[in-house]
């Protein structure tokens, strides 16, 4: 657990660095990168083969000489076959052969034989040893990709197992607050043990059902793997229950002690209560959690985006970018506004809101505090800096929506998302400048020139990033877009880490390669903690969503006789916001796609409009109590002591600004996005 952050005066999170875990996770993620780029690499090999050896697809280095006869006297062969005919007295339908039919058949076979010899001659002329080696590599890669289609699922399970085990060992699963004494520590571990044991029981029940289902061997193997994973978690929980860290003081449980239970456990207990007692569906938890295996590529992409964020944290890029605006000496309200606009696009590139906060939230918080912002404003801005960009290109959340729902495309959603972002960011600026005062910038003489000077250190980073992206396109033919971003960005960021590890940012005794390796392992180590916590939350969010799918809640809220799309939209706004309050956005998208989307669209809500509303409602949800996931992640990076020390003086607004400001921005944004477009198609 990040215990040092509880008293750390700075905003940086100080996780224990597990070099071995980091190195293993880095290798796992790199293997998934290679597997993900395998199809692009194979396509590129085919293209290269065709350019170097014309008709590459038809060339075969191992071709043998055809055995057919290239020289033949057709007339003599026809006569021979006609003369060889002997009538069969027992066959009522027997008739003498047709010489013309025999001739036509022989001529066609002769033409085919000539084609075979021509192809063989080309092989002889072009089948060099180089072609043989190239063909072996190309076909070997094709066979590997074809034979290992299911490998991605097991790689994902291995990634989840290691990352969640690290999170469990460090007690870094996301909860509303940290344990403050030994009793609360044991409560947290005991509940985790129960939930993980429940998962093992559900897996066992599901395996019993699969045993009687023919053709379910591959699914059963996956369930055995998941059973082993949750069994490992139970062992870790038992160890951590018995061996409490020495620095945790004695104490007793209080009414608020339930807040230390990780959120994934709360979701698991709720889902367990429904499936076991209300629905009598013991294998429900296993089935819904196992859905993650079917979407393993998407969840691996989440892991890759987390790695991107943690690698970004290992570079000087956030500080260098903020140095560009420092010469203007912006007052706190204006700096908060600039940060909201400036961080939206990096948020989109890290795939999801929480990842950006984990990566750069500490730097954002520090800069706001240095500019004179109060703790409440700094906390609110840090939480929102990782939120508004989820509607921008190339955010993974929109890619997931488009993949699960064919009625919308990423292009349409990104286009509308840009307008939503501009409105919400502008509203944030207006509210902050109005409530804080002293927002007018007073730049010193020469601020613009000084700002341009601060751009120079960024130029090598930009040039290297462009070079890596262009190099990948040349080598693999893989363009940078929302689909390839999870594969390309980790390579770009690792190249930037190598560039950043120069003599100015490393120990004198370290080489550049050593500094690069240590930073990469440290980034992977931090990634392990966050990947484990996020994926556990997503998995149990899907289990929680199973309640909506198997119950009649959706039919009650959206009955067939409901004729007013306006009432339907009002119910949608409330329902989606509540879902966003208690669930991870990726799990929530999967849930909404399976349960709510189609009934709502059938009531007359435009699909594109619905999903934009859905994303904005989720933004409001994970910025709002009771869970407020972005605030929890902000607490992780700035330390609980900073959150507890937030000002409790002044007006009601200033005392609770970190919670009120996001709601004041996203609430009106949601209402505008939900109801104004309906004027044009629902009246």
Mean pLDDT of 607-612: 94
Q: Please tell me the predicted confidence (pLDDT) of residue 275.
A: 93
**Phi-psi category of residue 372: left, alpha or beta, with phi > 0 → left and psi -120 to 50 → alpha:** left
Contact 323, 454 (CB under 8 A): yes
* 341 Cβ neighbours under 8 A, 6+ residues apart: 425, 429
**Predicted confidence band at 1 (pLDDT cuts at 50, 70, 90)?**
very low
| Residue 214: other Cβ atoms inside 10 A | 6
Q: Would you say residue 9 has pLDDT above 60?
A: no
Contact 345, 489 (CB under 8 A): no
Nearest to 635 by CA among 176, 163, 1, 9: 176
Q: pLDDT tens across 455-514, in order? A: 999 999 999 999 999 999 988 888 888 888 888 989 999 999 999 887 666 666 678 888
Crossing angle, helix 38-52 and helix 19-36, to 10 degrees? 50
Q: What percent of the chain has pLDDT over 70?
A: 93
Q: What is the pTM of this model?
A: 0.80
Q: pLDDT tens across 389-424, in order? A: 888 888 888 988 998 888 999 999 999 999 999 999
Cα within 13 Å of Cα(37), Cβ side: 24
Contact 379, 631 (CB under 8 A): yes
Q: Would you say residue 6 has pLDDT above 60?
A: no
Q: Please tell me the predicted confidence (pLDDT) of residue 327.
A: 87
Q: Which residues of 167-189 are buried (b: 16+ CB within 10 A; e: fewer)?
A: bbbbbbbbbbbbbbbebbbbbbb
Q: Would you say residue 584 has pLDDT above 50?
A: yes
Contact 82, 99 (CB under 8 A): yes
Place of tokens 């960021």: 493
Secondary structure class of 161 (helix, strand, coil): helix
Cα within 13 Å of Cα(665), Cβ side: 33
- Which range, of 16-20, 57-61, 196-200, averages the lowest pLDDT? 16-20
d(CA 253, CA 593): 40
d(CA 577, CA 622): 8
Q: pLDDT tens across 210-268, in order? A: 888 887 888 899 999 999 999 999 999 999 999 998 888 999 999 889 999 999 999 99
Longest dimension (CA), the chain: 116
Please list the alpha-helical segments (H only) found in 2-65.
Answer: 19-36, 38-52
d(CA 401, CA 615): 10
Contact 633, 362 (CB under 8 A): no
Q: pLDDT tens across 15-52, in order? A: 454 567 777 888 888 888 888 888 888 888 888 888 88
d(CA 88, CA 94): 6
- The size of the chain, in residues, is 683
Residue 256 burial (CB < 10 Å; 0-12/13-18/19+)? exposed
Secondary structure class of 181 (helix, strand, coil): coil
Q: Which residues of 605-636 are buried (b: 16+ CB within 10 A; e: fewer)?
A: bbbbbbbbbbbbbbbbbbbbeebbbbbbbbbb
Mean pLDDT of the chain: 84
d(CA 433, CA 290): 48
- How far from each other are the two terminal CA atoms of the chain, in whole angstroms? 54
Q: Please tell me the predicted confidence (pLDDT) of residue 427.
A: 95
Helix, strand, coil percentages, rounded to 5, for the chain: 75, 0, 25
Contact 206, 276 (CB under 8 A): no
């Amino acid at each position: 657990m990040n215990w040092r952050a509880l008293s750390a005066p700075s905003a940086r999170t100080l996780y224990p660095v597990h070099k071995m875990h980091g190195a293993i996770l880095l290798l796992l993620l790199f293997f998934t990168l290679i597997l993900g780029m395998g199809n692009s690499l194979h396509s590129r090999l085919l293209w290269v083969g065709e350019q170097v050896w014309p008709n590459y697809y038809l060339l075969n280095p191992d071709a043998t000489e055809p055995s057919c006869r290239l020289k033949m006297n057709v007339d003599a062969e026809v006569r021979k076959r006609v003369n060889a005919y002997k009538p069969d007295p027992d066959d009522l339908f027997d008739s003498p052969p047709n010489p013309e039919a025999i001739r036509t058949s022989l001529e066609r076979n002769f033409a085919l034989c000539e084609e075979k010899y021509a192809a063989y001659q080309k092989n002889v002329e072009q089948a060099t040893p180089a072609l043989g080696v190239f063909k072996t590599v190309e076909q070997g890669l094709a066979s590997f990709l074809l034979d290992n289609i299911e490998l991605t699922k097991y790689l994902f399970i291995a990634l989840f197992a290691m990352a969640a085990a690290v999170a469990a060992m460090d007690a870094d699963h996301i909860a509303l607050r940290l344990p403050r004494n030994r009793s609360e520590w044991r409560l947290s571990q005991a509940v985790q043990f129960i939930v993980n044991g429940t998962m093992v029981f559900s897996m066992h029940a599901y395996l019993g059902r699969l045993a009687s289902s023919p053709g379910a061997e591959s699914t059963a193997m996956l369930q055995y793997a998941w059973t082993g994973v949750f069994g490992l978690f139970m062992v870790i929980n038992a160890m951590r229950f018995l061996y409490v860290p020495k620095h945790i003081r004695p104490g007793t449980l209080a009414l608020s002690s339930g807040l230390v239970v990780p959120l994934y456990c709360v979701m698991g207990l709720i889902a367990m209560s429904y499936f076991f007692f209300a629905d009598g569906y013991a294998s429900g938890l296993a089935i819904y959690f196992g859905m993650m295996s079917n979407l393993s590529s998407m969840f691996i992409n989440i892991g890759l985006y987390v790695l991107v964020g943690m690698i970004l944290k290992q570079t000087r890029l956030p500080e260098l970018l903020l140095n560009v605006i420092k010469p203007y000496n912006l007052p706190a309200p204006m700096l908060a506004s600039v940060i909201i606009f400036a961080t939206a696009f990096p948020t989109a590139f890290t795939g999801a809101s929480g990842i950006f906060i984990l990566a750069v939230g500490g730097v954002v918080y520090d800069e706001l505090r240095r500019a004179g912002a109060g703790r409440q404003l700094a906390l609110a801005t840090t939480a929102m800096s990782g939120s508004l960009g989820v509607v921008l290109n190339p955010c993974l959340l929109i890619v997931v929506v488009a993949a699960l729902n064919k009625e919308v495309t990423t292009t349409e959603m990104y286009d509308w998302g840009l307008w939503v972002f501009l409105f919400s960011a502008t509203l944030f600026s207006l509210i902050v400048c109005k409530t804080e005062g002293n927002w007018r910038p007073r730049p010193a003489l020469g601020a613009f020139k000084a700002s341009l000077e601060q751009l120079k250190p960024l130029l090598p980073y930009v040039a290297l990033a462009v070079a890596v992206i262009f190099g990948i396109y040349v080598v693999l033919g893989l363009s940078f877009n929302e689909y390839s971003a999870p594969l390309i960005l980790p390579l770009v960021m690792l190249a930037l880490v190598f560039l950043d590890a120069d003599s100015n940012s490393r120990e004198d005794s370290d080489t550049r390669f050593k500094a690069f390796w240590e930073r990469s392992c440290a980034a992977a180590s931090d990634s392990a903690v966050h990947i484990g916590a996020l994926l556990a939350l997503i998995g149990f969010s899907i289990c929680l969503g199973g309640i909506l799918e198997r119950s009649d809640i959706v039919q009650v809220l959206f009955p067939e006789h409901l004729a007013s799309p306006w009432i339907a939209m009002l119910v949608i706004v409330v329902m989606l916001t509540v879902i966003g309050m208690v669930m991870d956005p990726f799990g929530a998208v999967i849930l909404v796609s399976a349960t709510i989307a189609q009934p709502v669209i059938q009531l007359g809500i435009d699909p594109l409009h619905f999903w934009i509303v859905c994303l904005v409602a989720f933004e409001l949800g994970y910025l709002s109590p009771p869970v407020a996931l972005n605030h929890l992640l902000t607490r992780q990076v700035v330390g609980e002591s900073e959150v507890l020390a937030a000002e409790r003086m002044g007006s009601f607004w200033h005392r609770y600004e970190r919670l009120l400001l996001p709601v004041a921005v996203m609430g009106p944004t949601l209402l505008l996005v939900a109801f104004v477009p309906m004027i044009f198609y629902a009246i």
